[in-house]
Chain A
Amino acid sequence: MTASMTREQGVELLRQMLRIRRFEERAAELYQLGKIHGFLHLYIGEEAVAAGSIPALMNDDAIVATYREHGHALVRGTSMRSLMAELFGKTTGCARGRGGSMHFFDASRRFYGGLAIVGGGLPVALGLALADKLQGRARVTACYFGDGAVAEGEFHESLNLAALWNLPVLFLCENNLYAMGTALARHQSQPDIAAKARAYALGAESVDGMDVLAVELATRRAVEFVRQGHGPFFLEYHTYRFRAHSMYDAELYRTKDEVNAWKQRDPIVTFQQALRAAKLLQDEDWDNLNASIAAEVEDAVAFAEAGPWEPVEDLTTDVYSRTVGDQLSAISQTPSADR
């Protein structure tokens, strides 16, 4: 516990982690009730990473995330209403309901997804950073991905190119030890991920991803390094997913003992205890926090329920820009005998 942390700062970190937890617990219930469909990858257990790292970014920095991005969008400030509506597939969702759980987007907060092919976000993050560099803007692009991405060619290509071109990218590896069901040690000859980054001449650091303060501290340092123009930086957060990979998963690949051991380090429980020990959190604060988040979640569910479905007539809008769409319809309507 850092001595300099104010009560407000501590409670805010706790609040963000709790918002993610309660949002996702409710989403899992709604999935069972048939309100949410498709894949639903829960972040429960990993909340300290998003809650600690995203406040280290400025509002005009960019975020590229993965299919397990509910927490990142929530902490970034996209409304819980529009995120829940997106899970429902309603037009009031953050991507008009077209993406669902894996594809949250929010242009106004420079949140570029929600990209669901493992490793596929890294090159896009490089390009966003390159655009900033070419246009002389001191912005940072934060790119989240998991340990599974480390096996993809794009991981290696992107680390190399980011370092070669000195791009302002912050690589944020959420190492939860499993690429779906394959343990890191079963898919990597060198399981020290930060060592791989160093091999591409990047500065790299590993940090306890279950400790929200450690996450925040390390991320602030890394963001500052990148913003100063020193090139990319690589952070590895050691974290753990408490739930199944998606909604259905027999979890044959890990033991209950292992899961329970990690649950002892639940980032919300431990941080709450630390705040209490430091006299920064009272019972009343905790109760208020829970009540206000419960109300926010229920409000989001009601909002999602009330939202309209996209009319089928709009199915093909935005495949191309309006201009091209108009050209297309003009082509099909214009007689062409004169051409």
Chain B
Amino acid sequence: MNITYREAVRSGMREALQRDPRVFLMGEDVGRYGGTYACSKGFLDEFGPERIRDTPLSESTFVGAGIGAALGGMRPIVEVMTVNFSLLALDQIMNNAATLRHMSGGQFSVPLVVRMATGAGRQVAAQHSHSLEGWYAHIPGITVLTPATVTDARGMLLTALEQPDPVFIFEHAYLYAMEGPLETNPVAVDISHAAVRRPGKDMSLLTFGGSLWKTLAAAARLAQEGIEAEVVDLRILRPLDRDTILSSVRKTHRAVVIDEAWRTGSFAAEVSAVIMEQAFYELDAPVVRVCSEEVPIPYPKHLEEAALPSAEKIVRAVRRLLG
């Protein structure tokens, strides 16, 4: 069955709200407006204002309230409209959500799920185009998920709600309108392992989130040139499934990491370091990164495209790597 990514997120939240009375949703415009990306359309009527809570534009406080509600026995889903605004909630995320279990000597759990849109590509200029999931992956104590498929968009949310620790889900804004097959597996999806989305033997293309589809498009073009690229969807940035990365690289001996964030200090740098540390002698060539240019993402379409990774840039990087 083909559904949109948006519908998949909505269906996951709806199922969670139906089956667990501890689950509630709060965030900016999740209720009467129906969600900025329409992921909670109709929820206010179906579940009522106690469980579908419109918040003021107070990111730090409603994320912190999510932490408190989780401590108090609820299973909050907090929607921070976009990653750009999550910067206003960083104190709560980093100093409270991520630390409380360890710092309290294991006395407290924070079973909180925070969802937010991320990424560029829609001509919304520099302040609404950030890709900061790699920053969040820096923080021990939280789990960072980047669903790229319809099945993951729905299933990762359901699995996240079963975790005793805070989980952050980054939904690439470009994907909401994408249609894809929803695998009707009744078992909640795994949030421990990366997935090989396209097998290949010549080259490992390692990516996540919105960049997965650009990478698959690049792999399809490379196949026409006789290059069999393997595409690995990391899916979970923390804790990172190193084994799947390493087994792919040990097979192909070449790696390109694709990440929509800026190159400097990017998650691609972390993936690259993992390969250097654990598979250096397997490599036939240096690891290559395809990332965004180091600029605030500009508004005009041609400049935005020039700033972001694209299938074309990935293909060029692979050709360069193969000499």
Contacts and interface: CB of A to CB of B under 8 A. Distances in A.
B106 A318 contact: yes
B72 A131 contact: yes
Contacts of B72: 62, 127-132, 135
Contacts of A328: 239
A151 interface: no
8 contacts: A98-B104, A99-B104, A103-B103, A112-B68, A122-B61, A135-B72, A317-B106, A318-B105
Contact of A98 (B102, B193, B242): B102
B64 interface: yes
B91 interface: yes
Contacts of A98: 102-105
B68 A131 contact: yes
A124 B64 contact: yes
A165 B31 CA distance: 15
Interface residues of B, number: 55
Query: Main SS of chain A's interface residues?
Result: mixed
A337 interface: yes
Given A124-B71, A332-B242, A95 B104 contact: yes
B243 A120 contact: no
Interface of B: 24, 50-51, 53, 55-56, 58, 60-74, 76, 91-92, 95-96, 100-109, 140-141, 143, 163-165, 192-196, 239, 241-244, 246-247
A328 B104 CA distance: 21
Interface residues of A, number: 59
Contacts of A132: 72
State the 6 A-B residue pairs at the shortest beta-carbon distance, nearest first: A127-B68, A123-B64, A131-B72, A96-B105, A157-B58, A157-B61
B103 A105 contact: yes
A105 B196 CA distance: 43
Contacts of A336: 193, 241, 243-244, 246-247
Given A105-B104, A105-B108, A336-B244, A126 B61 contact: yes
A161 B51 CA distance: 16
B216 to A, nearest CB: 18
A179 to B, nearest CB: 17
Nearest to B109: A321
Contacts of B109: 321
A189 to B, nearest CB: 21
Nearest to A155: B61
A331 B68 contact: no
Nearest to B244: A336
Contacts of B60: 123, 153-154, 157
A95 B107 contact: yes
A253 interface: no
A320 B141 CA distance: 6
Contacts of B165: 320-321, 324
Contacts of A123: 60-65, 67-68, 92
